């Protein structure tokens, strides 16, 4: 039974045309004419052409508009180096990091073999200029974000641990004085480079990384550092700590504190996630450091330091978000319930679609911030927006990943529960909430 108005009208007209009383009354012709003109006017809007098209006599050559790529918009094409670095690290993440990740998480330990292999890849050399034995030629926040992404696709905790010395070396390259660079950077290019880490977070209510509670009191020719840091990656095995502290004038700065400095101690502080990165508390009890432990010449920029750190965290978030996505899609296509794959259910399909949209958004915002940083322009706003997006969406993607696996999401047989735990660290590590 047709329910639309035109259908109803046609139906009644057909009945009218079929009825015998028209003939009995002798009015069939006039009624039929009425019905005919009625249908014609009813359909008229579709049948009357607004404009006539004449066949062209002179045929011009076919035209296609050329692609336009203004050079001032950021470019998403990887260059040769970046492509090869991504390819190499993708293989490393798939073949080396991923298979070791479950065990590393269980034991709460970074496998020594992975650290050795990462050294062989020369990861840290990429943070050091050629003059000090490294291979860095330009500032490369985009490549750094790509590196973080690929490693974290293997495992977030292992990636965070491997990138800790990388970030320290990068900070010294960015802001270190000639003396600091000559002291520390060549060591990072040795056959056995040091482990190094950044100590930034503190267990303070409403912690703001720009206002650390750890203090650096001027004393004689040096400084005295006092405070306690939390969530310090690889603290137990680090040879060098980059510690944030507040100067007497209230300004936040970074200090290079070598292992073995008196008053420096740590305490294991395992967390819900990042277990292979062996997070710990770092206590600074009247730690005396010389004046040249203060990182940076006159060009030091604490905000930029936080923003670079944010870009790297975002890269990590994107990588693990991609891991989740790559895992749940085949799962949902294969897992059958009610006689068909669960991906046929819209509640599942939409969740996966949102995951893909969010991962791409995170990635694009991260790349935009990184590419502005690379070009030397202001990037603080972009880095913080990217960080806030990643804080939220990384957690959401982790949660939804577990959800999509149903009961299987809850058990350790699948890696998604680990990613869920690790992804929660994006918002808490490195003063994430204060971006």
Partner 1 sequence: MKVLVAVKRVIDYNVKVRVKPDNTGVDLANVKMAMNPFCEIAVEEAVRLKEKGIASEIVVVSIGPKASQEQIRTALALGADRGIHVETDEEVQSLEAAKLLKGVVEKEEPKMVIMGKQSIDTDNNQTGQMLAALMGWGQGTFASEVAVDGEKVNVTREVDGGLMTVGLKLPAVVTTDLRLNEPRYASLPNIMKAKKKPLESVAPADLGVEVAPRLSTLKVEAPKQREAGVKVEDVAELVDKLKNEAKVI
Q: Applying CB under 8 A, which residues contact partner 1? A: 80-81, 83-85, 87-88, 91-92, 120-123, 125-126, 134-135, 137
Query: Which of 106, 137 has the CB closer to partner 1?
Result: 137
Whole-angstrom distance, CA of residue 133 vs CA of residue 156: 28
Residue 276: how many other CB atoms lie within 10 Å:
31
Nearer to partner 1, 83 or 107 (CB): 83
Query: Which residues, 6 or more positions from 137, have their beta carbon under 8 angstroms from its beta carbon?
Result: 129, 130
Q: Is 148 helix (H, G, I), strand (E, B) or coil?
A: helix
Whether the CB-CB separation of 200 and 314 falls below 8 Å is answered with: no
Those residues with Cβ within 8 angstroms of residue 275's Cβ, 6 or more apart along the chain or in another chain:
104, 105, 108, 157, 421
Query: How many Cβ atoms sit within 10 Å of the Cβ of residue 431?
Result: 22
CB-wise, 37 or 88, nearer to partner 1? Answer: 88
CB of 326 to partner 1, least distance (A): 11
Write down the least CB distance from residue 123 to partner 1, Å: 6
Question: Which residue number, 189 or 243, has a Cβ lying nearer to partner 1?
Answer: 189
* Residues 166 and 123: beta-carbon distance below 8 Å: yes
* CA distances, 76 to each of 143, 366, 370 (Å): 12, 12, 11
If the CB atoms of residues 99 and 290 are measured against partner 1, the closer one turns out to be: 99
Paired tokens of 286: 């009247």
R_g of the chain, CA atoms, integer Å: 32
Cβ closer to partner 1: 303 or 326? 326
Count of CB atoms situated within 10 Å of the CB of 214? 22
Say how far residue 118 (Cα) sits from the centre of its chain: 21
- Least Cβ distance, residue 95 to partner 1 (angstroms): 9
Q: Assess contact for 387 and 402: CB atoms under 8 A.
A: no
Q: How many CA atoms lie within 13 A of 249 on its CB side?
A: 2
The answer to whether the beta carbons of residues 200 and 241 sit under 8 Å apart is no
Q: What is the Cα–Cα distance from 89 to 143, expressed in whole angstroms? A: 12
Task: Using the minimum distance from each CB to partner 1, give the nearer residue, 163 or 395.
Answer: 163
- Name the residue nearer to partner 1 (CB basis): 128 or 232: 128
Q: Distance of CA 62 to CAs 59, 65, 243, Å?
A: 9, 10, 64
Question: What's the closest the beta carbon of residue 161 comes to partner 1, in angstroms?
Answer: 18
CB 330 → partner 1: shortest distance, Å?
11
Place of tokens 């039974």: 1
> Which of residues 143 and 400 has its CB atom nearest to partner 1 in the complex?
143
Cβ-count burial of 120 within 10 angstroms (0-12 exposed, 13-18 middle, 19+ buried)?
exposed
Taking the least distance from each CB to partner 1, the nearer of 135 and 411 is 135
Nearer to partner 1, 78 or 304 (CB): 78
CA dist 343 → 60, 279, 322, 333, 422 (Å): 49, 38, 18, 5, 26
């Amino acid at each position: 039974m047709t329910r639309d108005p035109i259908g109803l009208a046609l139906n009644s007209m057909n009945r009218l045309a079929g009825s015998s009383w028209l003939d009995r009354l002798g009015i069939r012709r006039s009624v039929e004419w009425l019905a005919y003109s009625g249908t014609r006017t009813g359909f008229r809007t579709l049948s009357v052409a607004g404009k006539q098209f004449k066949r062209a006599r002179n045929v011009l050559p076919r035209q296609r508009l050329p692609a336009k790529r203004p050079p001032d918009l950021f470019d998403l094409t990887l260059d040769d180096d970046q492509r090869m670095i991504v390819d190499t690290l993708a293989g490393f993440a798939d073949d080396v990091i991923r298979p070791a990740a479950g065990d590393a998480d269980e034991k709460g330990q970074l496998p020594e073999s992975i650290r050795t292999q990462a050294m062989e890849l020369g990861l840290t050399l990429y943070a050091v200029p050629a003059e000090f034995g490294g291979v860095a030629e330009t500032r490369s926040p985009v490549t750094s974000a790509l590196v973080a992404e690929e490693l974290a696709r293997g495992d977030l905790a292992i990636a965070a641990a491997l990138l800790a010395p990388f970030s320290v070396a990068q900070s010294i390259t960015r802001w270190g004085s000639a003396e600091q660079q000559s002291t520390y950077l060549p060591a990072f290019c040795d056959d056995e480079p040091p482990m190094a880490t950044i100590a930034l977070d503190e267990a303070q209510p409403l912690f703001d990384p720009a206002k650390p509670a750890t203090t650096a009191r001027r004393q004689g020719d040096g400084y005295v550092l006092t405070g306690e840091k939390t969530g310090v990656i690889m603290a137990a095995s680090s040879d060098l700590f980059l510690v944030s502290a507040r100067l007497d004038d209230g300004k936040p700065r970074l200090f290079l504190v070598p292992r073995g400095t008196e008053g420096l101690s740590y305490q294991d502080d395992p967390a819900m996630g990042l277990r292979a990165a062996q997070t710990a508390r770092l206590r600074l009890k009247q730690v005396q450091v010389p004046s040249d432990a203060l990182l940076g010449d006159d060009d030091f920029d604490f905000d930029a330091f936080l923003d670079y750190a944010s870009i790297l965290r975002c890269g990590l978030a994107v990588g693990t978000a991609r891991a989740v996505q790559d895992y749940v899609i085949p799962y949902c296509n294969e897992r059958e319930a009610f006689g068909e794959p669960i991906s046929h259910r819209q509640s599942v399909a939409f969740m996966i679609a949102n995951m893909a949209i969010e991962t791409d958004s995170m990635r694009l915002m991260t790349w935009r911030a990184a590419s502005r940083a690379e070009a030397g322009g202001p990037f603080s706003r972009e880095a913080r927006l990217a960080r806030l997006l990643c804080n939220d969406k990384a957690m959401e993607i982790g949660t939804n990943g577990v959800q999509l696996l149903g009961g299987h999401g809850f058990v350790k047989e699948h890696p998604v529960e680990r990613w869920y735990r690790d992804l929660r660290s994006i918002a808490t590590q490195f003063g994430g909430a204060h971006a």
